[in-house]
Structure 1
Amino acid sequence: MIPTLSSEQAFERYEAVKHRFPILSAYKTTIEPIKDLSEIEDRFDAFVFDAFGVLNVGETPIKGARERIEALRVANKQVFVLTNAASYCFDQVVAKFKRLGFNFNDCELVSSRVVCEMHLPSVDSSFVWGVAAPSSFRPEELSVKAKPLLDDQPVYDEADGFLILSSESWTLERQALLFESLSQNNRPVIVANPDIVAPREEDMSVEPGYYAHDLMDRLPGLSVAFHGKPFGTVYDEIERRLGSSIPRHRIAMMGDSLHTDIWGARVRGWGSVLVTEHGFLRGQNPMDAILKSGIYPDFMTPSI
Structure 2
Amino acid sequence: MSINRLRLNFTQAIEAYLHYAPRLPQVAADAVPAKTDYVDNLLSIADQFDLIVFDAFGVLNSGPTAIPGAVKTVATLQQMGKKLAVVTNDASSSAEAILGRHRKRGFDFNNENLISSQQFIAPMMNAYTDISHWGAMAPTFWPFDVLPDHVEPLGEDRALYDAVGGFVLIDSENWSDAQQKMLEESLAANPRPILVGNPDICAPMGDFLSVESGYFAHLAADACGVMPECVGKPYHHVFEEILRRNPGVDRERVLMVGDTVHTDVLGGLASGIKTLLVHQGGFLDGQDIEGVFARSGLRPHFCARAIGHGIDDEAKQTACCDA
Q: What is the identity, as a one-letter code, of the residue corresponding to 1:251?
A: V
Partner of 2:244: 240
1:265 aligns with 2:265: no
Please say if residues 55 and 61 of structure 1, whose CA atoms lie closer than 8 Å, have aligned partners that are also in contact: yes
CA shift at 1:144, angstroms? 3.6
Partner of 1:139: 144
What is the aligned-residue RMSD (CA, Å)? 1.7
Partner of 2:209: 204
Aligned equivalents of 2:123 and 2:75: distance in 1? 30
The alignment partner of 2:287 has SS state of coil
Deviation sequence 1:74-131 (CA, Å, 0-9, x none) = 1111101011112213332222222222111112111112222343323328622211
1:250 aligns with 2:282: no
Partner of 1:122: 127
Partner of 1:193: 198
Aligned equivalents of 1:107 and 1:92: distance in 2? 15
1:5 aligns with 2:17: no
Q: Aligned pair in 2 of structure 1 residues 62, 3: CA closer, same or farther (>3 Å)?
A: closer
CA shift at 1:142, angstroms? 2.6
Partner of 1:177: 182
Aligned equivalents of 2:303 and 2:76: distance in 1? 19
Please say if residues 161 and 183 of structure 2, whose CA atoms lie closer than 8 Å, have aligned partners that are also in contact: yes
Please say if residues 135 and 168 of structure 1, whose CA atoms lie closer than 8 Å, have aligned partners that are also in contact: no
Which of the numbers 287, 300, 304 marks the counterpart of 1:301?
A: 304
The alignment partner of 2:156 has SS state of coil
CA shift at 1:229, angstroms? 1.1
The alignment partner of 1:70 has SS state of helix
Aligned equivalents of 1:223 and 1:187: distance in 2? 10
Please say if residues 5 and 173 of structure 2, whose CA atoms lie closer than 8 Å, have aligned partners that are also in contact: no
CA shift at 1:135, angstroms? 4.4
Aligned equivalents of 2:197 and 2:279: distance in 1? 25
Aligned equivalents of 2:131 and 2:293: distance in 1? 45
1:292 aligns with 2:280: no
Deviation sequence 1:128-165 (CA, Å, 0-9, x none) = 22111134224324344211111111221221211100
User: How many residues get paired?
Assistant: 302
The alignment partner of 1:253 has SS state of strand
TM-score (norm 1): 0.94
Please say if residues 218 and 228 of structure 2, whose CA atoms lie closer than 8 Å, have aligned partners that are also in contact: no
CA shift at 1:233, angstroms? 1.0
* Unaligned ranges ≥5, structure 2: 308-323
> Bigger relative contact order, structure 1 or 2, given CA contacts below 8 A and separation 6+?
2
Aligned equivalents of 1:173 and 1:280: distance in 2? 27
Please say if residues 139 and 153 of structure 2, whose CA atoms lie closer than 8 Å, have aligned partners that are also in contact: no
